[in-house]
Amino acid sequence: MAFFRIGVFQFAPAFGEVDKNLARVEKAVEASERADLVVLPELFATGYQFVSHAEVGKLAEPVPGGPTTQFLLRLAKERCCVVVGGLAEKDGEAVYNAAVSVGSNGVLALYRKIHLFAEETVWFRPGDRPLPVFEARGTRVGIMVCFDWRFPEAARTLTLRGTDILAHPANLVHPHCPDAMVTRSLENRVFSATANRTGAEERGGKEKISFTGRSQVVSPEGERLIAMDAEEENFRVVEIDPALARDKHVTPQNDILRDRRPEFYER
């Protein structure tokens, strides 16, 4: 049995206070037992509720040269781990709701969210890259961000590309996601690690946004290995066996990938 340790950090970022948010991540991770994979929330460095394009442009950063990615690179090197976290990415004039994966030797993957939610469609361009899969200590990790959970095609695509663990940075506001991610894990026989945020934001006269917390790690059998509540700020780590995600049998006769009938799934 080859063990692999997943850590998820749940907290309430302070809007626009990048240095403060990075420091909180560093303190939490350094105070905890070591993880091979650390998953942080969506837009964990900036906060979520933007009020203008100028504000988005000011807080967005290039990858890998921006301070958030550089911080993650240092953290990954110091802790000998891989980190996945969400950030506002600037690429020329374009800004994306992105997630970056970094290891001790550099950037492993950059994903730009393909399913934008609500006002994200105002501030960000839709993602223009495939759903990525990368390797961490012999384990294959795929990235999906927040609202991607509503689209089973995202998790299935990552599974078909060989994913063992779905790394899922999130800023969730709907209560259904934790249960839906149990289904995503079951229907694909993969682990899933959702790092959500807590707290609320109410800026620029806009309606208050409250985040649901309940970060979790789910096994291929649908068991919640980590289950946080709606409010706790915590970094929690669980040990898994990635080989469980490579056995796609649900009975001796049934393999969920082999038994697919894609010729009947066409429109």
Q: Which of 55, 90, 120, 146 is catalytic?
A: 146
**Amino acid, single-letter form, for residue 20:** K
153 noted as active-site residue: no
* Per-residue tokens: 2: 């080859």
146 noted as active-site residue: yes
Strand-pair category, 249-251 with 254-255? antiparallel
For residue 64, say if its preceding peptide bond is cis, omega within 30 degrees of 0.
Answer: yes
Phi-psi region of 3 (alpha: psi -120 to 50; beta: other; left: phi over 0): beta
Q: Rounding to the nearest 10 degrees, give the CA dihedral for residues 135, 138, 139, 142.
A: 10
Q: Which of 42, 61, 89, 120 is catalytic?
A: 42
* Per-residue tokens: 158: 């990552």
> Partners of 234 in the beta sheet?
10
Q: Which of 55, 61, 90, 113 is catalytic?
A: 113
Tell me the CA distances in angstroms from 185 to 28, 130, 131, 170, 179, one per residue in order.
27, 20, 17, 16, 10
27 noted as active-site residue: no
Catalytic machinery residues = 42, 113, 146
